[in-house]
Homo-oligomer: A and B are copies of this chain.
Amino acid sequence: MTICNDKSIALRLPPPALPGQFLSTVDTPSLVLDLDAFERNLGHMQERADQAGVRLRPHAKAHKCPDIGLAQIARGAVGICCQKVSEALPFVHAGIRDIHISNEIAGPGKARMLAAMALHARMSVCVDDVRQVAALAEACAQAGATLTVFVEIDVGQQRCGVGNADAALRLADAIANQPALRMGGLQAYHGGAQHRRPVTERREEAARAAAKTAQVLARLQAAGVRCDVVTGGGTGSVAFDLTSGVYTEIQPGSYVFMDGDYGRNEWEDALHFEHSLFIATTVMSVAASTRVVVDAGLKSMAVDSGLPLVWRALGANGLRYVAANDEHGIVEAGEDGTLPDLSAQLLLVPGHCDPTLNLYDDIIGIRGEIVECLWPVSARGLSR
């Protein structure tokens, strides 16, 4: 008989939540998804894309969660985008069979990994350099795989992508010379345009991006290059991308959650998405009379696009989250001067959803005040 004296073997962290549990009893900090608002956001975007006759390929970089990717596809999305090769892996494992890496890749191992995935799913990727084309072709040849390749053009973001039609044409020729590669078309994404606050500025930036894309497209088509797909666009510009006549496919990601930063955009007409993602946090210190301290700080939310908002809908009375330390947040009173008591739970709207999701292993889905599901953020940390 073996006696095990190490009691720590039995010491395990409980799951973040269990179905049926009240939200108010969930341990914090934790990431909470309002399933009703989430489903309305998914339906609304799909409907708008369908009305415009444009394919929706949502960006999974925003959620990193196969359950959400499958929910998007179930509503009509043609596949998903990922931003990194490793990020795509959990989605392939979850059975998603059409994934676009909306990015260039370089460095050891990545092309080989992508070629291996292309044996299991229809994979595509972007290029803006002929050496990337050669590396992809070599990896595909070794794996016996084929890949679809998009030429990325810079339409104002000043990040990746070639700057003119001549360079795009050279890349298209390089792709055409590789039997394992297939020209997919053009990618034209203007990230900087997404967060301009006034509708008019976003409309103008989107129009400039679409005009440049149309010009490059015309040059390629005149040279006999087939571009079946023109892909791009994001949550901030989607109303204009859909009616541009240029994009055949849109890539929005953040519409699923709507973060604090996107919430500060001015929005036009009927295109309205709701905050669905929250950080549940608990008041852990009320030792001072002018502030309370909550248990969610820099390790529980990204602050690159501003501090989180305290969610008013739950009676927070204008409370303001005014400072984030690594594991603490400082919350001050609003106009009415009242502060929550020790152990009170608050919900925060994160400033930027994408890097916030990347901090959590699970999304707690709630319906009203009750936990309904626990969805793994399977691509969390997969940045290679």
Residues of A in contact with B (beta carbons under 8 Å apart): 7-8, 11, 13-14, 16, 25-30, 61, 83-84, 86, 89, 92-93, 103-110, 113, 116-117, 119-121, 128-129, 131-132, 154, 158-163, 167, 191, 282-288, 291, 293, 295-296, 298-300, 302-304, 324-328, 330, 342-343, 345, 352, 354-355, 358-361, 380-384
Residue of B nearest to A95 (CB): B8
Find chain B residues with CB under 8 A from A120 CB.
7-8, 11
Number of copies: 2
* Distance, CA A355 to CA B298, complexed state (A): 7
Q: Which residues of B contact A106 (CB under 8 A)?
A: 282-285, 295, 342-343
The answer to whether A113 touches B159 (Cβ under 8 A) is no
Chain B residue at smallest Cβ distance from A327: B83
CB <8 Å contact, B119 and A355 = no
User: Which residues of chain B are near A132, meaning CB under 8 Å?
Assistant: 342
Q: Do residues A384 and B8 form an inter-chain contact, with CB atoms below 8 A?
A: no
Known interface pairs A16-B384, A299-B358; 14 further A-B residue pairs with C-beta atoms within 8 A, sorted by A's residue number:
A11-B89, A13-B384, A28-B384, A30-B384, A83-B326, A106-B295, A107-B284, A129-B285, A159-B285, A295-B383, A298-B304, A304-B304, A359-B383, A380-B381
Partner of A158, one of B26, B286, B288: B288
Taking the closest CB of chain B, its distance from the CB of A35, in whole angstroms, is 22
Contact indicator A299/B110 (Cβ below 8 Å): no
A-B contact pairs, 9 of them (CB 8 A): A8-B92, A83-B327, A106-B343, A129-B285, A131-B343, A159-B325, A161-B287, A298-B352, A304-B304
Contact among B27, B86, B89 for A108, CB-based, below 8 A: B27
For A29, the closest partner residue in chain B by CB is B383
Q: Which of A29, A159, A160, A358 has the most CB of B within 10 A?
A: A159
Shortest beta-carbon distance from A185 to chain B in Å: 18
CA distance A298 to B330 in the complex (A): 23
Q: How far is the CB of A364 from chain B (nearest CB, A)?
A: 12
Establish whether residues A285 and B119, one from each chain, have CB atoms under 8 Å apart when the complex forms.
Answer: no
Q: Do A342 and B129 touch across chains, with their CB atoms under 8 A apart?
A: yes
Give the one of A117, A295, A296 with max B CB within 10 A.
A295
Chain B residues, Cβ within 8 Å of A110:
27
